[in-house]
Each structure stands twice: as structure tokens, then as C-alpha cells.
Amino acid sequence: MRENKEKKWLNALIQKGTITDKLSGLTILGQSARDDEEGAKAVKQLISMMKRTDRRISGMAMQNLLQLFQVNLLPKNKELSVDDPKDAMIKELYASFIRAVSEKAKDTVLNSKNHAIKTLSEMAIMPEQRLSVLSELVNKLGDNVKSAASLTSHLIIILSKRRPAIKLLIVEEIERLVYRPNISQRAQFYGIVALNGFTLDPAKDASVANQMLKLYFSLFDDIFKRNEARHAAKLEESKKKKKNRWSQTKEHGKRGRKGKLLQKKKEMLDEAESTEQRLLFAVLSGIGRVMNIAGAENAAKFESHLNSLFRASHSHSFASSLRAMLLLHRLLSVQGILPDRYYNALYEKLSDPEMLVEKSQHPLFWVWYSNL
């Protein structure tokens, strides 16, 4: 009798109360979704409210649903059973919630988008349909809004600390993103930044470190293939300019729409090259960091990458070339004898004008001192 009265009161609250009252009433009814149809309908109604154009209502519904699933409807340490009818029903409701949150993560309003991304990171804490949630979360590393992609990277790092057991799953998901066709270098960069933020335990995370190391070196080789292709294109363009200097000068002197398009294209190319240099630096930093955990015995596996590392040591980015020198020293020191090309690269770097910058001196002089 008392239960029926409570339900009548809640239904009256939902029908006649304010929007906050309605959300609260539906949330309370939703707590019994496993046991009665009315509770399941309340959860579905909350999911429908998430899809409203009013972002305040949508955000409140999303927050209530997250708490409802976390506290009342999902087990904390295991997935729901597909064989149990009640579990199957909750599983389907949760799948609908995942889809709704993923859609909100595409919102054009940044606050609403970020709220959805944070919700996805909280959902990834729970075992239920974790791979689907991780896939949606990692996808946001490629968001066209830089701050949203950066936030996603930061949240993935936090997730790896809160749930250390799923680090390998995260690495594999980021690997799928990195090698997706037509993925942007910026998305790759934020993915590598997330991996670089992982705290790895040498006693437990050797397999994670090895997986990361394979990804780093593979991406490293891809970067240099792109560098070589771009360098060849620049040489070809330079040859064309020399053949027709007059027309080239005239082209650069043009004003108006065509001149603006040329300028915009140049800016885009410069930005892409800058992103690639940051990506290269992040990859080299990651290699140096996980090699300690993957073990020195893995150095022999990556001898095929030495030529790329030597090319990186001649990079016009001093920070990237310095990282490459430090890695070369670590890889080659295992073999006992350092080759002449290593010393040639070292002496060239010592004569670089960037060496006059104080912060650049210490690591390179450390390498030099260790070779004396």
C-alpha cells in the first residue's frame, strides 16, 4: 500500500512539477528498472530528455542517468549477463544511454560537448560495455576543437590511474585510432600525449610498455616516410620555380582572392609541419620513457629503426633531434661500441646555434660526457 502511494505521488510530481521535479521523480522511479516496467519506462524517458534541444535539461538528464546506472542499475565489478532477461533489458537501456552520450559529445556548444566527454570517461570506469565506451571516448581525441581533444587526452590519463588494469585496452584503442585512414596528425598527437601520461609499473606493465613501444616506433617510421615525401615535393616545387622565376614572382605578387587562397594554403602547410614536429617529439619522448620498463633486451628488436633515428638527429627541430640523440645513445650503448656516424651526429649537434640556449645544454653535454 505504501509503495503504491509513493508511486502515485511520484507520478503526480512528474506530471505537474517543475522540470527539476520531473527529473528527480523519473530518476527515483528508474531505480526499480530491473523489477518493474514502470521503472524501465522512466529510464527511457530520461534518455529521451537527453535528446532535447534545451541543453540545460539535456545535461541534467545525462547527469541523473549516469548516477542511476552507476549506483543502482549496474554491477561494479562485472558485466551484466546476456542470458538473464532482466540483465539483458538493463544492458539495452545502457547501450541506448551510451549512444545518447556519444551524440551529445558532438555538440557544437563546447560546455555541452565537454560535459558529454567527461561523462564518457566516468562510464569507462564501469566494466559494462567498456570497449564501446572506450571507443567513443578515444574518438574524441580527433575532435575538431583543440580544447576538447586536449581534455579527452587528460581524462584518459586520469582513467589509466583510476583503473590501471585497463591500460592495455586503452593502448589498443588508441592504436586503432592512430592507424585509422585519414586520421589527422593532431589526433595522433593527442593520442600519444595520453599514452605518455601513463604511470607504468615495471613489475606489472611490461606487456603494456612493449605494446606502446611497438606503436611508437611504427608511428615514428610513418612520420619519416611523410617527411621524405614532403621533402621530395619541396625539391620538385623548387625546380619549377627556378624554371619560371618571372611567372612565380608575378604569382606571388597577385592580390585578391587567389593571393589569399595561396596564403591560407601556406599557413595550413606550416601548421601541419608544426604539428608533425610536436608529434615527433612526443613519440621520441615516449620511446625513451617506456624503454626502461620494456627492458634493455628489446633494443635489439629495433635495430631496423636506427636509420630513422639518425635521420631524426638531423631534424631542424632541436628538441626532436636532441631526443633522437639521447635514444641513439641508449640503444647503441647496449652494443658496446658506438659507430662513427653516431659521433658525427653528436659533433654536428654540439655546433648547433641552439646549444647557446641554456636549457638545451645539459642533456646533450651529459651524452657527450658519458661517451668520453
pLDDT tens by residue, 56-114: 999 999 999 999 999 999 998 999 998 999 999 999 999 999 999 999 999 999 999 99
CA distance 265 to 309: 30
Question: Which of the two residues, 210 and 349, has the higher pLDDT score?
Answer: 210
Q: Give the containing element (helix H, strand E) for 158.
A: helix 146-162
**Position 139 confidence tier, pLDDT thresholds 50, 70, 90:** very high
Q: Residue 1 has what pLDDT?
A: 43
Q: Which of these ranges, 120-129, 165-174, 208-217, has the smallest mean pLDDT? A: 208-217
Between CA 286 and CA 200 the distance in angstroms is 12
Cell numbers representing residue 41 in the block = 519506462
C-alpha cell at 273: 609541419
In tens, the pLDDT along 292-324 reads 787 655 555 566 677 777 877 776 667 677 777
Tell which residue, 62, 1, 51, has the closest CA to residue 26.
62
Tell me the pLDDT band of 361, cut-offs 50, 70 and 90: low
SS3 content of the chain, % helix, strand, coil (to 5): 80, 0, 20
Specify the pLDDT at position 276.
Answer: 81
Q: Whose grid coordinates read 620555380?
A: 241
Burial class (CB in 10 A: 0-12, 13-18, 19+), 191: buried
Q: Provide CB contacts within 8 A for 66, sequence distance 6+.
A: 119, 122, 123
User: Which letter does DSSP use for residue 69 in this model?
Assistant: I
- What was the pLDDT predicted at 192? 96
For residue 133, is pLDDT > 70?
Answer: yes
Cα→Cα distances 219→223, 305, 310, Å: 6, 11, 16
List the grid coordinates of 154. Answer: 587528460
Which of the residue ranges 13-27, 151-165, 263-277, 326-340 would you say has the lowest mean pLDDT?
A: 263-277
What pLDDT, on the 0 to 100 scale, is given for residue 341? 83
CB neighbours (10 Å) of residue 45?
17
User: Do residues 66 and 117 touch, judged by C-beta distance below 8 A?
Assistant: no
Closest CA to 326 of 294, 288, 352, 369: 288
